[in-house]
Each structure stands twice: as C-alpha cells, then as structure tokens.
Structure 1
Amino acid sequence: MANDAIKPLALTLGEPAGIGPDITIAAWLRRRELNLPVFYLLGDEAFIVRRAKALEKALGADIRIASVSPSEAAATFTEALPVVATGVRATAEPGKPDESSAQAALASIRQAVGDVRAGRASAVVTNPIAKSVLYRAGFRHPGHTEFLAELAATDGRVPQPVMMLWSPRLAVVPVTIHVSLRDALVQLTSELIVSTVRIAASELKSRFGIDRPRIAISGLNPHAGEDGSLGHEEQTVIAPALKVLRNDGIEARGPLPADTMFHEAARATYDCAVCMYHDQALIPIKTVAFDDAVNVTLGLPFIRTSPDHGTAFDIAGTAKANPASLIAALKLASRMAAAQS
C-alpha cells in the first residue's frame, strides 16, 4: 500500500444521489491492483451500506464497509472500505436528490476540512456535488472552491482559492472561475492575474516538486488582441501583470494566443497554462484528458483534489460510472502530501 508515514486521505461523500458513492466503492475495489493510498469516506454508514449492496451484483464483488475513526482507517483499508460517520443521515436514492442531500454533502466537506486541519488526514479529496441541490437549501457560494476557501479562513481572513485542472499531459489555471463571461471581463485585473500566478508558481514548487515552473499565460482576445486591433486587454491588463511576475523571478511567458497554446508541441514548453476565463482553460484539458483530469484547489492551507466531473445522476447506482478521475485525484493528493511532508 501507500507510504504508511502519510496520514489517510479524507474523502467526502459528495451528492448522495450522484455517482460519488459508486466511484468511491469502485476505486476501493481496485486498491490492491492500483496500490491506492489509504482513504476513508466521510458520510452516513447505513447509506453507504445500502448503496454497496445495490452495486455488488453489477460489480461482481463482495463489498465490505467498516465504521472507523480516522486513526483506524489504515488498519481497516485492506479488508473493508473505512467510513467515518458525520452524524448526518443521507436517504436519497440514486439519481433522486432529496431533503437530506445538501446537509449530508456539506457535513462531509466540513468534517473533512476539520480532519485535515487537525492533522487526522493528509489531504481532502472531494466527490462531486450538485450545486443546484445546495442552492435550493440556501448554499450561497458559487461552488466547492469558494466554500473550501471560507472553511480555510484564519482570523477572519479568507485565502484566495486558485483552481487548477491537472493531468499528466496538461495543467491549466483559470484566473476567473465560476462567473459569466461578462462578469469575468469585469473581474479580470492585473492584480488578480499576478496573485493567481504567484500562488500557482509557489505550489508547483512546494507541492508538485517543480523547481522552476514555466508558466504560459494566455491572452484574452482572439490572436491575443492582434497588437490592439482585436482588443486592448493584452496591453493594458495582461502585459503589466507579466512585468510584475518577471520582476518576481517567475518564468512567465505571454500573452499568447489561446488557439495555439494547447497542441502537443506547445504543451511541452510549459508546466502550467494560466488562462483568463473558465472555458478558455477547461475546454482544452477536458479535450486531452477527460477521464483522468483532476481538480486541485491551490492557495489553501491544506491539499484538496477532486474528480473533474459532475454527479451524473443518470447513471448513479448502475455501476457504470468510471472511477478513473477519482483514482487520479486520490493518487495526486497522496503525491502532493508526500512532497510537502
């Protein structure tokens, strides 16, 4: 199994009606084959047992569940999926979120963060949530990333979360995240670019082991603005940020036309691509690494990774969900924890 010196990973339940429980079980069943790091699932044991029983025939496996504390997870992991109770019931059926869904998902996230900050776990790995379900229950954050930043606050100071999508073939960071394109243009500033790239460069060193990260920075407009004929943001917003970053000693190159940044030869010239808005970053990585891309939140005082996909209500409970992205998220979280230990 994985390095015994590393604390187990705290894996959240995600949306109970989604595929989070399914891919968790499927990943655990491959623990020996893939030498997976030890993890425990935070949730309602009775709920997990029900889902496991429903999946056993389709998966062709005897699925054992054990209720444990975080310190007992490593001793249990080989023989049973360790489940740490949150004390919040989950009653949703596959594909059918109910009134228990939001609180079960949020309790799992809160407890996972508490465990890693208390030293009981080495990192947080989050299963997919359904934001629409959370919004109906009063959730006020744009997404997982922003909620985790609030949970990471110290002395009332909320850190700046930076979303990275990582795969062995490509790593990308969007400067603006879960906002409309219109709002992204308003939010985009030189200061935001600088702070985002500083965080990405720092964590590529400390948590990914890259001594001198090479950062490729996209333009905003087509053809990176064509010297101002297709837009001025490259000259007035991005270029000033690049000057500051280079003065910091960060190897930052750009602004580059986004349409020529992501072919194979271009990807070999940088360690991370920083893009100006969500889809500019996520379309290329989901094209080249749809099954094994991992969502990583940088800028937090703890490690957080997540599968790069949604809840897939239509296949929940069918054993059809692919656990590849969760497996990649677990492995990357363990690697990052080892790098900083």
Structure 2
Amino acid sequence: MTTAIALTAGDPAGVGPELLVRMLVELRAETAEDVAVISSREELAAGIADAGIDTDVDGLLDPAHIRLIEIDHPWPRARGEVGAEAGRWALDGLQKALALHEAGEVAGLVFGPLNKTSLHLAGMTEPDEMRWFENRLGAAAAVSEVNVSTTFWTSRVTSHVALREVADLVTPQSVRESALLLHRLLVAAGVSSPRLAVCALNPHAGEHGLFGDEEVTAIAPGVALAAETGVDVVGPFPCDTLFRRGFDGTFDGIVTMYHDQGQIALKTAAFDGGVTLEAGLVLPICTPAHGTAFDIVGTGTASMTSTRNAYHLARKLVAGAW
C-alpha cells in the first residue's frame, strides 16, 4: 500500500509556488519519502525564482521518490492577483491529486493556499474547498475543517456560512459529530486519550438562557451525546476564557461553533505554523492555514512553517489509523 503524498502549489498567483519549491528542497535534503508533485516545470521555475534558490527544476526532482505529474494546459502567468485562470489551474491540480488517490498512487494530499474568489471565477459552485472535496470523494460521517496548532486542535460545528445562519445549524447532533470527529483525528495523530472542551455560542455561555438558549437546548445535549460514546469532552464554556485553557495544555482540542470563534484565537496566538485539515474524508488533506499572500509574491519572504507542518501532519496521519 502506498504512503506517497501528493503536493500542489494551490493558487499559482500566490506564494504557493515558492512554498512548494522550498518544501521540495527540504524533502530532497532530508528524506526519502515518496511524493507526487502536481505542477508544471514552468510553475516550479517560477517558484525557484520567487524563493531565490540556486537550483533548477531537475534539481528539485528525484526519479526514485519525487516525481512530477504535469498539469496539461498552460500555466497562468498572472501573479499577485485574483483570476479565473489561476482558479482553474488550482482546481485541476486538486482533481489530479484525487485521481491519483483513486488509482492507489497517493495516500494523502497537501495543497498550497487557495483564493476562493479565483476558484469561483473558475466555476467552483461549492462555498469552499471542503465542500468541493466532499462532493467528489463522499464521506461516511461529518466533515469539517479542523485547525491545528502546536498546542491544540479545533473543530467547527459550522464553517463558511453567514453568521446569521449559525444558531440554526447548532444542534445536538452537529455538536456531537464535531466532537467525535475531533476525537478520532487526535487519536489518529497519536494522542491516545484526547481531552476535549466545547465552546458556548452566546456571551457568558448564555447565562442559563438570559442571553440565548442554544447552550441549554443544543450544545449541552450534544456534549452529553458525545460523552455517552466514551469521548472525554466537557462544556459548553464561554469562549473568551476557554482558549487560555487550550493554550496552557488543559485540553487537546476545542470544538467551536463558528469559523472566527476558533480562528481568531489560533491566528492571534499561533499564526505562523497553523495547519488546516480537511477532515472526515477518505484521505488526509492538509494545507497551510494562511492565505495566498498576494502582497509578498516574488519577494522570497513567504514563511515555510505552516507548509512544513501541513506536510508532516499529512505524513503522520497517513502512517496512523486514518
């Protein structure tokens, strides 16, 4: 059974080509792990120029372990801007990765940062890449974007939806599924007995219904349902204090109710190094938690930390009980 990882640069107009090249340099120097690079020689050459690295495309590749799977249409040359061609290139790369997985040639995927506007200009109809993957791969249970820092993980009951829709989507079942998903992922990553906590939705956890009743009617029942399965999970707690207990190591994972509830905390305390995991699918799919950084394209200053962490998390999950 293969343990190879597929790598794509994501949006070619952003810092993805630079990050992909830097990752390949590290892999050539440090490992003999198998990877399939879904790109083109032109994109890799642009990444080399962006990174300012003294090598050529062949110097990034290794016939034994690092092979290039070329996208079969011209690489879009526009850099640092939104565009349909960039979105199509990014989607084509992801589609090739899924085809390689279907053929049994890769076991996981790491993709560079994407621009959702470019993806939609290219014809993507789903709200985000998570749902795009779900529609092509299917899922046996709940799917969610999970965010990973060096300290703790977060899952989301809701994600890329309008804030006005969140309360209606928070149900006992959705809370339960988000907690179970986070528990399974932490176990797969090597945490034998994950300790989980669940965020409230309303200020002060609703103050027993004074500021909203979702904690009473949906979140606490969902926590109880998850705990009945043997998961170590408690809550709901006010989120303005709960994250301190995540960062100090009290909890391994926190279930959040909506996108920014967890993202603000993680990106404030641990922006450099964060990873987003597209969870609940048939293979591990990881990406750096930052964006395309159009403003620094070509400056050679993109940080490798999140991309490196995304690769090593995918590698760990491929080796674990995914």
What TM-score do the two structures reach when normalised by structure 1?
A: 0.87
- The Cα shift of 1:265 comes to 7.0
Aligned partners of 1:149 and 1:158 also within 8 Å: no
Q: For residues 143 and 86 of structure 1, what CA distance do their matches in structure 2 show?
A: 22
Where 1:302 maps in the other structure, the secondary structure is: coil
Q: For residues 105 and 194 of structure 2, what CA distance do their matches in structure 1 show?
A: 31
Q: 1:94 aligns with which of 69, 79, 98?
A: 79
Q: Per-residue CA shift, 1:250-281, capped at 9, x if unaligned?
A: 11100111111122576422111001111111
Q: 2:300 aligns with which of 310, 314, 319?
A: 319
Where 2:151 maps in the other structure, the secondary structure is: coil
- The Cα shift of 1:297 comes to 1.6
- The Cα shift of 1:60 comes to 4.1
Q: Which runs of 5+ in 1 are unaligned?
A: none
Q: How many residue pairs were aligned?
A: 322
Q: For residues 325 and 47 of structure 1, what CA distance do their matches in structure 2 show?
A: 20
- Counterparts of 1:1-341 in structure 2, within 5 Å, are 7-31=3-27, 35=31, 37-49=33-45, 51-52=46-47, 54-55=49-50, 59-65=52-58, 75-77=64-66, 82-153=67-138, 160-205=142-187, 207-263=188-244, 267-340=248-321
Q: Which runs of 5+ in 2 are unaligned?
A: none
Where 2:209 maps in the other structure, the secondary structure is: coil
Where 1:306 maps in the other structure, the secondary structure is: strand
Q: For residues 183 and 283 of structure 1, what CA distance do their matches in structure 2 show?
A: 19
Where 2:64 maps in the other structure, the secondary structure is: helix
- The Cα shift of 1:74 comes to 6.4
Aligned partners of 1:11 and 1:41 also within 8 Å: yes
Where 1:172 maps in the other structure, the secondary structure is: strand
- The Cα shift of 1:23 comes to 0.8
Q: For residues 112 and 177 of structure 1, what CA distance do their matches in structure 2 show?
A: 24
Q: For residues 254 and 138 of structure 1, what CA distance do their matches in structure 2 show?
A: 41
Q: For residues 265 and 11 of structure 1, what CA distance do their matches in structure 2 show?
A: 31
Q: For residues 290 and 204 of structure 1, what CA distance do their matches in structure 2 show?
A: 20
Aligned partners of 2:145 and 2:276 also within 8 Å: yes
Q: For residues 181 and 305 of structure 1, what CA distance do their matches in structure 2 show?
A: 25
Q: For residues 49 and 217 of structure 2, what CA distance do their matches in structure 1 show?
A: 57
Identity %: 29
Where 1:75 maps in the other structure, the secondary structure is: coil
Where 1:95 maps in the other structure, the secondary structure is: coil
1:165 maps to a residue whose letter is: N
Aligned partners of 2:28 and 2:60 also within 8 Å: no
Aligned partners of 1:38 and 1:74 also within 8 Å: no
1:121 maps to a residue whose letter is: V
- The Cα shift of 1:285 comes to 1.0
Q: For residues 191 and 123 of structure 2, what CA distance do their matches in structure 1 show?
A: 41
Deviates more, 1:258-267 or 1:6-15: 258-267
